[in-house]
A and B are shown apart, each in its own frame.
Chain A
Amino acid sequence: DAGVTQSPTHLIKTRGQQVTLRCSPKSGHDTVSWYQQALGQGPQFIFQYYEEEERQRGNFPDRFSGHQFPNYSSELNVNALLLGDSALYLCASSFWGKPQHFGDGTRLSIL
């Protein structure tokens, strides 16, 4: 049973560019959440998707946007990248009150 899978594992971009990160939830899960983990910090909640709609959003600017597809997979898009966007981006999936399962993340480096 595959867990949460994220792609790519590593990514290097330059300031001002745009990036798309992808997440496939654990089998049977229908809710996807995204978190940003800066170096030496705990993860911070970006937003959560359920039934293809954004259900909750953390304190992140509109440059961060997302999407959920009918098969429950999800994308995180970040526009106009800043140096401060360098972080590990974690995807988590869940189903009906069950604890969230996390993927191994995408490490994004901004030059």
Chain B
Amino acid sequence: AQSVTQLDSQVPVFEEAPVELRCNYSSSVSVYLFWYVQYPNQGLQLLLKYLSGSTLVKGINGFEAEFNKSQTSFHLRKPSVHISDTAEYFCAVSEGRDDKIIFGKGTRLHILP
């Protein structure tokens, strides 16, 4: 069975500082990996995805993530955060492109002025 663990429930970071949100997954088969962002009172927006190929994936809003198969990790990074990045971030896994998505519990990114 697939599962996703987001290691931090909340991450405070100063504006313009770098940030890393950690994610580990568990699956018995090859997976597709995603990061979604949820702004207050909104649905989920896809930040980036790993389907195959290069392990370094670039997404929207300056975010990137690196797939590490040996460590079963897919950590999200941004070199310099902005106040507008305040949101909940969800790491997710799927066994197929149209398959159900299994989400982690989320990491709240709190930007400090």
Contact = CB atoms under 8 A, between A and B. Distances in A.
Contacts of A40: 105-106
Nearest to B102: A45
B43 interface: yes
Of the listed residues B44, B49, B106, the one surrounded by the most CB atoms of chain A closer than 10 A to its CB is: B44
Interface residues of B, number: 23
Interface stretch (B13-21, B67-75, B76-84, B92-100): B92-100
Contact of B49 (A48, A56, A99): A99
B101 A90 contact: no
A45 B94 CA distance: 11
Interface residues of A, number: 27
A104 interface: yes
Nearest to A98: B97
Given A99-B46, A104-B42, A94 B98 contact: yes
B25 interface: no
A110 B41 CA distance: 18
B100 A90 contact: no
A42 B90 CA distance: 7
A24 interface: no
Contacts of A45: 100-102
Nearest to B108: A40
Contacts of B41: 104
21 contacts: A4-B43, A31-B98, A35-B101, A40-B106, A42-B90, A42-B92, A42-B103, A48-B100, A56-B99, A58-B100, A90-B44, A92-B101, A94-B97, A97-B96, A97-B97, A101-B46, A102-B44, A102-B45, A103-B43, A105-B42, A105-B43
Closest 7 CB pairs of A and B: A42-B103, A97-B97, A102-B44, A45-B100, A102-B43, A104-B43, A42-B105
Interface of B: 4, 34, 36, 41-46, 49, 90, 92, 96-106
Interface of A: 4, 31, 33, 35, 40-45, 48, 50, 56, 58, 90, 92, 94, 96-105
